[in-house]
Amino acid sequence: GVLQWNQTSGLTFSSTTQPQTSVSALVPGQYAVSALLTEGDCIARDTIFVTFNFPPLVDISDSGVTCHD
């Protein structure tokens, strides 16, 4: 059969035609991901929901403030 992962806006797949693939998101949230499998005249479709929760990022940088005694 032939498998096709349908890319949702905001997601990137390492492969859209392999059963096992890596997927990443730029923005945290829940995404619907659809897979379409065709085998001759038969067609199967399924949708799963994937949630990406990113850890909070903290930017600690030099603010340029200097204290003198």
First to last CA, the chain: 74
Place of tokens 């204290």: 67
CA angle (46, 16, 3) in 5-degree steps: 50
- Cβ atoms of residues 8 and 32 within 8 Å: yes
CA-to-CA distance for 58 and 2, rounded, in angstroms?
43
How confident is the prediction along the chain (69 residues), in pLDDT tens digits per residue? Answer: 899 999 778 899 999 999 889 898 888 999 999 999 999 999 999 998 989 998 766 666 655 555 655
pTM for the predicted model, two decimal places: 0.66
